[in-house]
Amino acid sequence: MLRRIVLTAIVTAMVPLGALLALASAKAATTAACTGGVALTQFAFNPASVPAGANSQLTLVLQNCTNQAITGSTDWYGYYLDANGNEDCGVIDPVVFNYSIAAGGTYTLTNTYGSPPGGQCQPAALEIGTTVNAPNAPSVTSAAAFLEFAPSCSGGVSVNQFSFNPVTVNAGQTSAATLVLRNCTSQAITGTTIWAGQYTAFAGQTPPGCPAIDPIAVPYSIAPGGTTTVAEQEGDTIPGCQANGLKSTVNVNVNGVTGTVATAAASLSIVQPVAPPNFCHATYTPNQWGGGFTANVTINNTMSSTAINNWTLTFSFQGDQKITSAWNATVSQTGENVSATNESYNATIPPGGSQSFGIQGTWTSSDASPLVFFVDGTVCS
């Protein structure tokens, strides 16, 4: 669901986050992006950081954007992350929750999570993902929330909240990323928060047309026993940027204390305009069994007179699938991101024609299908 702009190179220049935020301030979204009749307005932990062994509540809020009642489901799944952000500390099996929302109404679901009991790995964080499904529109949107495990009030400061509101926006709009810090001491505390952002899409790289983001420093001051709130507008405001997400990370420093005392992360989903059906159409047909899957992927050339030559298809898994083999394409995977390039014998897709390839792999927590497909950097309908 990205802009139909063909780009021949990835922008690698560093752009100060402050410049993006200044540009974003005039385009703040007041409502979440609506896809399939449903808007995902909130998906966040509160508090965003807890000591190991403690729990936090994760809240999801959906809004019905239509004038008819809607029923559907949400899939929740998770990964415990080590200090390097790797998914090496265990998984949380997927759970399906059904919802029903009256016309124009909202639905709220709250679950409680914490660090895993025992085990050799001591996770640094927990990432919970959700996929929202609506009638006749599976996987209409997705989001992720992060819970950090850190000593209580390290350096005298704790992170009460770090989240986007709304958690999904349309391209060209921004969302408020709100950070709430608490002073756990009886003395005033001053310090600096370092805000960093990364646009996300496919192939594990900066999405086409999107700049790398240079971190900025935002100072703070908290009265004894008090709280302070810092809010910044973030999103996809760069013309030609084809991101479908933005991950924002904040490191909290306290004056007089060596090193970072707290870290928090939040994820924003960006809904891009869908290209009209005049270029290509991609179909992903999975076959799933316990712990394994195959999928057939077909690219249809919907143009009437122009062939697609030397194609590369890219997409991102919504689950934790790992590809073990492929046929009729050269396929590589980095994390959840997959890139498939034609073989010599199927490099051309004639007008009105198609080419297909297959993959086989494994999964642990979720085999959720990809949401968006790109051919040579341009979205397929």
pLDDT in tens, the chain (381 residues): 222 222 222 223 344 444 444 443 335 655 677 777 888 889 999 988 888 888 999 999 998 888 788 888 899 988 888 877 777 788 888 899 999 999 889 999 999 998 887 666 788 899 998 888 876 555 567 888 999 988 778 788 989 899 998 888 888 888 889 999 999 999 999 999 999 988 887 545 567 777 878 899 999 999 999 999 998 888 877 777 778 888 899 999 999 999 889 888 898 888 877 655 567 889 999 999 999 999 999 999 988 888 888 898 888 888 889 999 999 999 998 888 888 999 999 999 999 999 999 999 999 888 888 887 888 777 787
Q: Are 313 and 299 in contact (CB under 8 A)?
A: yes
Q: Are 328 and 311 in contact (CB under 8 A)?
A: no
pTM higher than the cut 0.75: no
Q: What is the pLDDT of residue 186?
A: 93
CA angle, residues 342, 334, 353, in degrees to nearest 5: 25
- φ, ψ for residue 67, nearest 5 deg: -100, 20
Identity (one letter) of the amino acid at 254?
V
Buried b (16+ CB within 10 A) or exposed e, 24-51: beeeebeebbbbbbbbbbbbbbbbbbbe
Q: How far apart are the first and last CA of the chain?
A: 8
Identity (one letter) of the amino acid at 18?
G
Q: Are 50 and 58 in contact (CB under 8 A)?
A: no
Q: What is the pLDDT of residue 365?
A: 86
Q: Which domains does the chain have, with CATH numbers?
A: 14-271 (2.60.40.10), 280-379 (2.60.40.290)
Q: Which residues pair with 340 in a beta bridge?
A: 313, 331
Residues 322 and 318: their CA atoms lie apart, in Å, by 11
CB within 8 Å of 158: residues ≥ 6 apart? 47, 49, 152, 181, 182, 184, 262
Q: What is the pLDDT of residue 14?
A: 40
Q: What is the pLDDT of residue 37?
A: 80
Local structure of residue 66 (DSSP, 8 states): S
CA angle, residues 80, 178, 131, in degrees to nearest 5: 45
**Counting Cβ atoms within 10 Å, is residue 319 exposed (0-12), middle (13-18) or buried (19+)?**
buried
Alpha helix positions (H), the chain: 17-24
Measuring CA to CA, which residue among 48, 113, 102 is closest to residue 76?
113
Residues 85 and 126: their CA atoms lie apart, in Å, by 10
Q: Are 225 and 355 in contact (CB under 8 A)?
A: no
